[in-house]
């Protein structure tokens, strides 16, 4: 066990490109963690195959198996307890977490959003910036709070929208930045945790 690291849970529901970027950084030892698990709410999601290929533990909790969100989230919490999770990284997890869940893991849940928050909140941030012919957009990694696409910002990177950009080319450039920025944000979290540990020893 690497005492300098932490236990990381990545929540994802879809393709899993940010999941793959984080796992790659872990494998290359750019991020020092004790363990990584994937929490997924969709058994058919491509991210599950990515995790299996990378030999990452997969926790499948299908939302359809539960009558309500409270039961669904309680099932997640109980599973997370088994892994003593220090940090949750939302990587395309297509569920809005309840206020009580957020409070339980206050300042331990990160999210990545494809805009310079607070601009272009919502599920279609890239398209909205493109359609509104914005001069710039970007990528934000932040801790989440009780509001959607809100909370303390950890890292941001601005991206200029070129007149030559198509929606597809802009999406590709934004995803490239996401894959670099998210591992960097996790590294910052680990450094802060290490510093706090040293101060309290």
**DSSP-assigned beta bridge partners for residue 75:** none
Q: Report the DSSP pairing between strands 109-113 and 87-90.
A: parallel
Burial of 198 (0-12, 13-18, 19+ CB in 10 A): exposed
Q: Using an 8 Å Cβ cutoff, are 33 and 7 in contact?
A: yes
Active-site position among 113, 175, 179, 196: 113
Closest residue by Cα to residue 170 from 108, 105, 120, 97: 120
Instruction: Decide if 113 is catalytic.
Output: yes
Cα radius of gyration rounded to whole Å, the chain: 17
The token duo for 125 is 């941030």
Task: Return the active site residues.
Answer: 113
């Amino acid at each position: 066990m690497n005492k300098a690291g932490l236990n990381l849970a990545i929540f994802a529901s879809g393709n899993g490109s940010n999941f793959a970027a984080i796992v790659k950084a872990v494998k290359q030892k750019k991020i020092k963690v004790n363990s990584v698990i994937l929490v997924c709410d969709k058994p058919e999601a491509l991210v599950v195959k990515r995790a299996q290929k990378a030999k990452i533990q997969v926790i499948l909790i299908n939302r359809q198996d539960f009558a309500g969100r409270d039961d669904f989230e309680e099932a997640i919490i109980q599973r997370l307890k088994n892994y003593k999770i220090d940090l949750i990284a939302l990587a395309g997890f297509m569920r809005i977490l309840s206020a009580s869940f957020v409070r339980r893991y206050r300042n331990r849940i990160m999210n990545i959003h494809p805009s310079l928050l607070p601009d272009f909140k919502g599920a279609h941030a890239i398209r909205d910036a493109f359609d509104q012919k914005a001069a710039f957009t970007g990528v934000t990694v932040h801790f989440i709070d009780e509001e959607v696409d809100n909370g303390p910002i950890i890292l941001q990177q601005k991206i200029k929208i070129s007149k030559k950009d198509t929606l597809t080319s802009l999406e590709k450039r934004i995803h490239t930045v996401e894959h670099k920025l998210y591992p960097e944000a996790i590294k910052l979290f680990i450094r802060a945790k290490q510093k706090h540990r040293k101060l309290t020893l």
